[in-house]
Amino acid sequence: MKKLLLLGAGRSASVLVDYLLRHAALEGWQVAIGDVSVEHLPLAVRQNPVVRAFAVDVLDEAQREAEIARADVVISLLPALFHPLVAQSCLAMGKHLVTASYVPEEIKAMHAEAQAKGLTLLMECGLDPGIDHMSAMKIIHHIQNQGGKITSFKSFTGGLMAPESDTNPWHYKFTWNPRNVVLAGQGTAMYMEEGTYKYIPYPQLFRRTETFMIDGFGAFDGYANRNSLAYRAPYGLEDIPTMLRGTLRRPGYCQAWNVLVQLGLTDDTYHLEMTEGMTYRQLVESFLPAARQEEGDLRGRVAHYVGIPPEAPELDLVEWTGLFSDLPIALAQATPAQALEKLLTQKWKLSPGDKDMIVMLHLFEYELAGQRHQLSSSLVVLGEDEVHTAMAKTVGLPVGIAARLLMQGKLNVTGVVVPLQPEIYEPILDELEQYGINFTEKTEF
């Protein structure tokens, strides 16, 4: 009997677990699910006869290797910093691995050994990265196979709220790790535009947005991700004049987030003093120069500091969070980002019945037979509720499909792999369509 091991069963795992158990029953697998605690798993999952749920300490080498040794395929949805440990144990135990996270350098270095052992360490097989790669490569290969030359490629993805659950002025709630949202974009964004290298330092990032329209869902603002240049070679677009990958938010979000960046509230590099007794008003005060009468109240002083009018709508969003209130932080030795995360986790939490939304947009320009063409490919996926979210669906299903293909011996690409090859992306995209994950394409001549 084949055995599959899932490490990490947090908020993005609900749809994946359902998928794995459905196919385990059909194909005769056993599924082991390990997490820091498994009490959050539904009772029906823990009592399923094909499931063995257990508490795992991924830092416990003996336990980690013993569990991996029992499996044929391992899926890791653990925090990304643990993937190198899991990958190293998979190499040692001779097991395939699937994750939804970016490939770190430590795992890249395992490529030759994985190939020599005939193992697949499949990374970046979730949503973003994952479905973005696969759907883009399908179009890229189609254009190239016709003899076309791609001159511009922009790709944006956002995890947002479905219209009926879009109930706060930020038009945003947490559907994945809040810490990652708070720290998003830090560093310098790098991309190509009309043959020129472009760089956006973090303090300018949320001022440099581009607006897009999605039929039936309205306007979205996109800002650049950290390093779009890294994907030119893997995508086979080394000479492309314009290439940018980015993140989507609703209009207004980036402008308000920029205020938090300019204040310094997203900084995670140092610890504040005395935060256990500090209020959020005092936190904001601590980043401002001494008060001047002409600047008015705290809102006016923030406006003056970041260079916007006191009546600016982005300050309405900032004030709504409670940052100008006397709410206590009640965290010892917090970083600014940790204090902000705690506040937003309460303000941006999903309510019962909330539905989220994934939006993805690819924009291509290409030349074919002497003519210039534009092609857009868009995806909108709606969640079912606050558990079976669109985020859980789009992260979990491609991971689950890839793991099933490995269990069936149908994926034969070895080494450290990203799903850019037709033999990987075609069966995954085909099956995703059965779950309503479909792209809408428009071409202009």
Condensed to tens digits (0 to 9), the pLDDT of residues 265-312 reads: 999 999 999 889 999 999 999 999 987 766 679 999 999 999 999 999
Sites in the chain below the pLDDT cut of 70:
293-295, 445
* 129 preceded by a cis bond (ω within 30 of 0): yes
pLDDT in tens, 20-49: 999 999 999 999 999 999 999 999 999 999
Kindly state the tokens that stand for 236. Answer: 């086979």
* Distance from C-alpha of 42 to C-alpha of 38, rounded to nearest angstrom: 9
Instruction: Give the residue among 156, 306, 296, 126 at the shortest CA–CA distance from 225.
Output: 156
End-to-end CA distance of the chain: 54
- In the chain, domain spans: 3-127+389-438
Q: What is the structure's pLDDT at 294?
A: 61
* Distance from C-alpha of 421 to C-alpha of 417, rounded to nearest angstrom: 9
Q: What is the structure's pLDDT at 445?
A: 67
What is the DSSP code string of 37-85?
A: --TTS-HHHHT-TTEEEEE--TT-HHHHHHHHHT-SEEEE-S-GGGHHH
Q: What is the structure's pLDDT at 295?
A: 63
* Distance from C-alpha of 322 to C-alpha of 257, rounded to nearest angstrom: 14
Q: What is the structure's pLDDT at 10?
A: 84
Q: What is the structure's pLDDT at 385?
A: 87
The CATH number that domain 3-127+389-438 falls under is: 3.40.50.720
Q: What is the structure's pLDDT at 12?
A: 81
What is the phi/psi pair of residue 99, to 5°? Answer: -140, 170
Rounded alpha-carbon distances, angstroms, from residue 250 to 115, 160, 345: 43, 8, 19
Q: From the DSSP assignment, how many helices (H) and strands (E) are in the chain? A: 16, 16
Q: 426 exposed, middle or buried (CB, 10 Å; 0-12, 13-18, 19+)?
A: middle
